[in-house]
Amino acid sequence: MSEREPARFAILPEVLAGDTADVYFLRTREILAREGVDPGVTMEFFPRLSGVLCGIREALEFLRVALGGVEVVVETLEEGLPMAPREPVLRLTGRYQAFGIYETALLGMLAQESGWATAARACVEAAGPIPVYSYGARHVHPRVAPILDYAAIVGGCLSGSTPAGARLAGRWPIGTMPHALVLILGDTVAAAEAFNRVMAPEVPRSVLVDAFHDEPEEAIRIASALGVTLQSIRLDTPAERGGVTPDLVREVRARLDLAGYARVGIFISGGLTVERIRLLRESGVPIVGFGVGSAISGASPIDFTADIKAIANHPVAKRGRIPGLTPNPRLRQVEL
């Protein structure tokens, strides 16, 4: 799959205005302004747990707009790197009022995106050499669906299902056809032929085969109808019928091979977990891809904390934390 120039993240006006900040940061801004106090500080952001770091790129794009040219020294780890508990992944040095109200937003970006990227990495590792795609947009609010797909790609997914999410990562969206198309047209072959007629040649010809008939039978019907244009069939058997099992995949593969369609791949989606992905991969049946939804989208955020560690170059910390900057040779200063 070819790549393209990544799109920029949307910078929402309510976040810039501080409307999504914890209100005590807004009150702190007001108090410090009234008191005429605005010291230079160093603030460090760090995770509670290990995982795959994600959210740095969005944080940098946001800071570039939010700071409006105000001088702040920014140090970060690179997007997609593994991170350790309590390891500083982002360090800001500058006047507190320049970025203080954005602590909530920055923590949220890092927490949510790192959680999704870490879950995606677990799925990708379970799949081994088989590509994994993010299919979880339907499980989250549409305002964050693109960021979900982006984070999943940072975690190792080849692409995501939403155009906006794929654009953020410089990829092209991936998808086959929904059950809705098959149900409306009344027949899987009719849906496949319409798809083949209408879609541009570069769109992969992958057809869903579990809507009306037995999956092996439907797979052969589609292969016969589309001929050499068919690249793969998608198994998405619902839990009500047992889901996609290794035995079902073996049967579909065997019957396609016996019918002379060994070149047609098998793509699997529907209720996949890390354990099921591993089970299907270890079954030994060739699989061309996994579409993973809630195993990524349902991942818990990785808690992040931000601490002021120095004020006017003097080490400080609240109780339980060590005053002064936390050594981390992996941090690199970046230009906004």
Contacts of 3 (CB under 8 A, 6+ apart): 170, 171
> Averaged over 127-146, what is the pLDDT?
96
Contacts of 234 (CB under 8 A, 6+ apart): 176, 206, 207, 208, 209, 267, 268, 269, 291
Percent of the chain with pLDDT over 90: 91
Model-level pTM? Answer: 0.95
Fold of the 13-114+300-334 domain = nicotinate phosphoribosyltransferase (3.20.140)
Percent of the chain with pLDDT over 70: 99
The CATH number that domain 121-297 falls under is: 3.20.20.70
What are the structural domain ranges in the chain?
Answer: 13-114+300-334, 121-297
Rounded to whole angstroms, how far apart are CA atoms 114 and 53? 5
User: What is the rounded average pLDDT for all residues in the chain?
Assistant: 95
Whole-number pLDDT of residue 1? 53
Whole-number pLDDT of residue 214? 87
pLDDT at residue 242 above 80? no
End-to-end CA distance of the chain: 30
Whole-number pLDDT of residue 240? 82
Rounded to whole angstroms, how far apart are CA atoms 281 and 50? 26
Closest CA to 139 of 301, 296, 272, 300: 296
pLDDT at residue 51 above 70? yes
